[in-house]
Structures are given as C-alpha cells and as structure tokens.
Amino acid sequence: MTAQPPPPSEDGPTGHDATGPDAAGPPAGDDDVQGTEVGLVARVRAVLRVPDFRKLWLSTALSSFGDWLGLLAITATATSLVDGFAAANFALGGVLLFRLLPAIVLGPLAGAFADRFDRRRTMVVTDVLRFGFFASIPLVDNLVWLFVAQFVIEALSLFWIPAKDAAVPNMLRKDQLEPANQLSLVTTYGLTPVAAAVVFAVLTTIGERISDLLAVSAVDLALYVNALTFLVAAVVIWNLPSISGRRAAGVKPVHEESFLASLVSGFSFAGHTPLVRGLVVGITGAFVAAGVVIATGQAFALSLGGGEAAYGLLFGAVFIGLGTGIAFGPSVARDLARERLFGVAIVAAGIAVSLLAWTPELWIALLLVVAMGFFAGIAYLAGFTLLGTEVDDAVRGRTFALVQSLVRAGLIVSLALTPFAVGLLGRHVLDLGIGSLTVTGERLLLGLAGLVAVGVGVGAYRQMDDRRPVPLVRDVVTALRRDTTARRRLAGGGVFIAFEGGEGAGKSTQVRRLQEWLTADGLVTRATFEPGATPSGAGIRRIVLDPDTVGLAARAEALLYAADRAQHVHDVLRPALDAGEVVITDRYVDSSLAYQGAGRVIPMDDVRMISRWATEGLRPDLTVLLDLPPEVGLARARGRGTADRLEAESLDFHQRVRRTFRALAESDPGRYLVLDATQDPDQVAAAVRERVGMLLAGLPRQAAAAPADGAGGS
C-alpha cells in the first residue's frame, strides 16, 4: 500500500492553514468525537478543550456580564442623579457619548501598546483599574465623577480589548479561530446581555429588601458586582502565562522601535496591506450604515403604522439575525474563502437594507431586518477571524485597535448626524398620476445606507480577493451546493465513502474488505483510488510518486493531483454515484489538504479552492480516517520495498500531515469516523462496518450482487 497525497479539497477547517507555527494548539486527540454530533457544537467543544482558552473565555464572559450589568446600572444612576425629563435624557446621552469618545482619542495608541508591551500584564492592570473605578461610582455618587469614571473605564477597555484579541490566535490553531470567535461573540452579544438584564431586573424588583438588608441600593449593588467581575478576571488572566507568548518567530521586537514609530508602522501596515485595507473599509462602512439603521429605527417603525412595539420587534429582529449569522452562517458557506465571503456578505446585507427602505408592511420589514442581521453576522465573524489568522502577531494589536476605533467613530458620526438629516429631508408626497408615493427622510437615508453598504462590500471584495481562477459566482454556487447522500438517493441511491490516512495506515486493505462486505449484502459497490484510477491519471501517478522525479514544484504537484481528481470525478465517481452505486475511494480531497497544504506548506485556502473547482463541490458522505503515528506507518510502508516520493519525505513532513488529517476530522465530526489504525485490522473493519451500516440503512439491495470493478489501492 503506497500512500499518495491526492489533490486539493473542499473539506476541513474553514479556510485556514492548520500547519506549521500556525498550528499552535493541541491537535485532535485519539479520543476525539467520532459520532454524529452537530459540527458547530463539536468544533466549539474542541476549542473549549484547550485549557488556557477555556479559562480566558470564562473570565471574558464574566467580565462581559459585568459590563452589561454595569451599563444598565450606570444609565440608571445617571438618570437618578438629575431632575426632569430633559435633564435625564441629557445625562443618558452623556453616558453613551463618554462610552464611545475614548476610542477616537486613544484607540490607535492602545493598539500600539498591546503590540509593544506584555499583553498579560496589560490585561491584568486594566482589569484591576476597572474594578477600582466601577467600585468608586456608587461611593462618590456624583454625575460629573460618573462621566469621568465612565471615560476612564472605556479608555482602559481600549487597552484590554486589543491585548486579548491579539493573544487568542496564539492559543489555538488557525482552523479553531472561527468557532472560538463564534463562541465569544455569541457569549458577548447574546448570552451575557440577557443574563445581565435578568439580574438587573431582579435586583431592581427586590430593591427595597436589598436596601434594608445591605444598606445599599440595588443599582449600587449591581455596580459592585460588576466591579468584582473584573477583579476575578484579573486573577484568572494572571495565571495564564500563555497570553504573554508571541507566535511570530524572527520578527523584530516592537520594543526596538520608538512608541511613535510603532504607531506609524501600524497605520502604514493597514494602509499598504490589501487584505487589511479591505477589512478596515468593509467593517467601518458597514458600521456607518448600521448606525443609520439604528438611528432611523423609531421613525421607520412609525412609517409602517406601528409604535414602540414595532420598534421593539425590529430591534430584536436585528439581534436574532446577527446571532443566527454568527452561529450558523459559516456552516452555510463553509467552503467559500473568508476573503470572498466577507465582501459578499456585506453586499447582501446592503441589498437587504436597500429593500427595507421601501417596504410597506411590518412583517416584510422584519424578514428583511433578520436577513440584514444574518449577513452582517457572517461578515463580522469572517472579518474578525481574518484579522486573527492573516495579520502577523507583531502588528495584530494595532490592527484590532484601529478597526475598533474606526467602528466607534463611524457609529458616533452616523448616530449623531442621521436624526438631523431625517428632520431636514422631512416628509413629501409625490403625485405619480396613477397614485401617490410618500417619501420620508428615514426611508431615503435607509436607501442611502444600503447603497453605502453595497459599495463598501464591493470595495472590500476587490481589495481582498486574490484573483482566484474560480469565478466568484461559480465559487459561491459550489460552496452553497450540498452533494449529500439524501440528494443522491433521490437520483438513484449513490453513496460516497472515502478512506484517508498517512503512509502504511491500511487504507487499501479496509477499502477491499468494506467492498466485499457491501457486495455480499447485495449492494452494487465500486472501489477506486487516487491518484491513477483513470488512464490519464495513471500517467500523473507515475510523475508524482516516482522517486526519480526531481525538481517538481509544490504548486505543480498540487495541480497535478487536482487534474487527476477532476478526471477521476468525471470518469468514475459521478457516473457511479448517478447510477446509484456505493463508491469507496482510497484517498480524496483531504489528502491534498494534508500532503500539499500541510506537507508542502501551500496555503490551505489555495489547495481547497483548486480541489473544490476540480470536483465541482463533490464531497464524501463519510470519510474514514485511519489514524497512525507516522513513525509506525513509515516503517510499514518502507518495509515493502523502495519508498516513493512521499514515503521518502521527512518525519516532520508526515507529522504535519497527520496533524492536519486530525484537524480536518475535528472540524466536522459528523462526517468523519476516526479510528486507531494500530488496532487489529479485524477490529478496524468491524468499526467501519458498524458506521457504514448506519449510513446505508434503507438503501435498496439487489437479489444478486454484481461483481464490483475497479478495486485498487494506493
């Protein structure tokens, strides 16, 4: 059984390399999930198995809960310290303004600080200081001090956020960052706000009892609880030395630059790096449009004939869509490169806003708002993940801080100017002859916001797209298409099973045994392999595996495997599946991701994109990964005679291959069966039969099984 590394793939961790120094974080263990858990849940569980990230996430969730609770308490305190309706609204507006202003003044400085100084110490010191300032608000009990404290707290948060955001990618593999970001964003904007609102409601409801028992008001108690959460977080973070670690090796330390020089270099990096420039343009423009949507919400609800209830429904619909997009959006378009997905999602959100501007009915508006939030959630998650995976550690803090500053500045400008613009535009009724059309300021601004979002989405796409050979529309269609067992059964019952693994794992043996078992059970079964299952593929196989082949570039090798796979899909796999056969292949796309992506260190997105194009999105219904330590597998393979080009590679090469196979399985456990290939072959075959039997339950059997053809292996 010679092991061959096939062409690129569409499966695996969402769009990011999981090898080399970027593969930091523990690989999937031998006890990884092998069942049929939902992919997202399993990926989140895998991320939470990283101890340092789990502790950081818990402390961040606690701080987030305290922050939301503190916001409710501070706004309540501000309005209670003044008399009169107007004064209360001015106080409330002042609190919100002082939450946003520090970002404009200090954001870039905070990012340079995060890149220049120890991130763990930065986070601990800022948490301790936030504890002190929050605790001081009820003690001083003065509106001016509340404004001062709020400004300082937000300024401290600006130093904490980029330090945390820049540290997280060093704790995890690249493919783990997206589920980690999903977990963090859903916690921060979904779970903790609700929990804080419930706790605040309970505290204010039993406020008199609290005052009598503790001699402190319910609002003050909420502030003390909030302060305490930051102190607890400081203790947790102090005991996470990995936060201080840096991933980049050989990079000039930031402290060798002056502070001003590091600040200037951060701006220069953002301005001259197309991907970062596209992210900054896209995220900032999208939040400017979001500010317009927020500021026109009440007027728009009135134009629909609703009141406060309609406004509340629209407001809630935004967060429903946002949460849904963050949680499930990546699963919908998991195979689309995040550089493309980011711009496409912003454009889709802008189109939804543009349609919203002319919607006459509340129920249609609610659907469009959910759609807008859904695409906005996808874009925000994709952008946030790209910042963590594609920006070098040395400038990551400054990049995160720059984005945060521009987002807040954009929100301030749009929130401040939109109400005035709505008032100036007013309300007009246009006579169209066959009827009249009412045009209002808020609808005009919503339409403008939609056009802005579409424009920045297109601009971001043009900046970030690397001119991949696959056209955008084709790429989106193949990413969205699901070539599943259920769909093929409708056409005739075909099922696609792939065996993957390193050298000497026993794939060919298990392919043959599974084929024999299925044939005896009355199923028409075809066994095949890569590379070389077609006449043209046989020539490619000789080139890529012949140990005498020298000077073959890594990308040329990847393209040869892709060519073999394209012919294999066209000549063997598709026809057999369309005919209702069970097709078993020895190697498929994952081998290209592991061998060419990780082994040859080609960007994983490039390998995945080429494979998706070559296979037209065809992926297995089940992938069986035979996991084996490389040293054991190489000893088996080399014991058979002369090693081929891949078997002759270094142990480090094969260890990278193994880590990537396991990371791919961890990313989608519902579609993988991971088995320990050091077991007896009979045990492995029994486990394979059990899982395949569940997959094929209900497929029609034939009275007399036709002999299977094409059995072969690599």
258 close to 264: Cβ distance less than 8 angstroms = no
> Residue 470, class by beta-carbon neighbours within 10 Å (0-12 exposed, 13-18 middle, 19+ buried)?
middle
Which pLDDT belongs to residue 88? 62
Residue 191 DSSP symbol: I
* Euclidean distance between CA atoms 209 and 198, whole angstroms: 17
For residue 143, give both structure tokens: 């509106």
User: Is the same domain home to 289 and 389?
Assistant: yes
* Euclidean distance between CA atoms 714 and 712, whole angstroms: 7
Compute φ and ψ for 675, nearest 5 degrees: -125, 145
Question: 701 in a domain, yes or no?
Answer: no
Question: 297 in a domain, yes or no?
Answer: yes
Question: 6 in a domain, yes or no?
Answer: no
For residue 428, give both structure tokens: 């007009």
Specify the pTM: 0.58
Q: Which residues are annotated as a binding site for ATP?
A: 501-508
Question: 542 in a domain, yes or no?
Answer: yes
Assign residue 534 the CATH number of its domain. Answer: 3.40.50.300
Query: pLDDT (tens digit, 9 = 90+) per residue, 300-318?
Result: 877 777 766 777 777 778 7
User: Is the same domain home to 264 and 200?
Assistant: no
Number of domains present in the structure of the chain: 3
User: Is the same domain home to 492 and 619?
Assistant: yes
Which pLDDT belongs to residue 205? 74
User: Is the same domain home to 211 and 316?
Assistant: no
Least confident range of 65-74, 104-113, 702-711: 702-711
User: Is the same domain home to 383 and 528?
Assistant: no
* Euclidean distance between CA atoms 330 and 348, whole angstroms: 15
* Euclidean distance between CA atoms 343 and 346, whole angstroms: 5
Which pLDDT belongs to residue 491? 57
Residue 703's CB: how many other CB atoms inside 10 A? 5
User: Is the same domain home to 126 and 184?
Assistant: yes
Q: Which of 682, 681, 662 is nearest to 672 (CA)?
A: 662
Question: 709 in a domain, yes or no?
Answer: no
Strand partners, 437: 430
Spatial neighbors of 48 by CB under 8 A, at least 6 apart, are 54, 57, 183
User: Is the same domain home to 423 and 561?
Assistant: no
3-state secondary structure of 499: strand
Query: pLDDT (tens digit, 9 = 90+) per residue, 404-425?
Result: 777 777 776 776 677 777 777 7
Chosen domain end from 467, 493, 509: 467
626 close to 501: Cβ distance less than 8 angstroms = yes
Assign residue 110 the CATH number of its domain. Answer: 1.20.1250.20
User: Is the same domain home to 149 and 88?
Assistant: yes
Which pLDDT belongs to residue 4? 37
408 close to 107: Cβ distance less than 8 angstroms = yes
Chosen domain end from 187, 209, 242: 242
Band (pLDDT 50/70/90 cuts) for residue 132 is very high
**Residues written for the chain:** 714
* Euclidean distance between CA atoms 381 and 426, whole angstroms: 36
Task: State the residue range of the domain holding 143.
Answer: 48-242
* Euclidean distance between CA atoms 89 and 84, whole angstroms: 9
Question: 190 in a domain, yes or no?
Answer: yes
Q: What are the strands of the beta sheet with 672-676, ordered from one edge?
A: 525-529, 582-586, 495-501, 622-627, 672-676
* Euclidean distance between CA atoms 314 and 362, whole angstroms: 9
Q: Reply yes or no on whether the pLDDT at 8 is more than 70.
A: no
User: Is the same domain home to 656 and 626?
Assistant: yes
Chosen domain end from 421, 440, 467: 467
Query: pLDDT (tens digit, 9 = 90+) per residue, 209-251?
Result: 666 676 677 778 888 888 998 999 999 999 888 887 654 433 4
Q: Which residues are annotated as a binding site?
A: 501-508
3-state secondary structure of 141: coil
Which pLDDT belongs to residue 498? 96
* Euclidean distance between CA atoms 126 and 225, whole angstroms: 17
Q: Reply yes or no on whether the pLDDT at 49 is more than 50.
A: yes
Q: Reply yes or no on whether the pLDDT at 282 is more than 90.
A: no
Percent of the chain residues topping a pLDDT of 70: 75
User: Is the same domain home to 403 and 503?
Assistant: no
User: Is the same domain home to 429 and 574?
Assistant: no
Which pLDDT belongs to residue 172? 82
Question: 413 in a domain, yes or no?
Answer: yes
Question: 126 in a domain, yes or no?
Answer: yes
User: Is the same domain home to 26 and 162?
Assistant: no
For residue 158, give both structure tokens: 């600006």
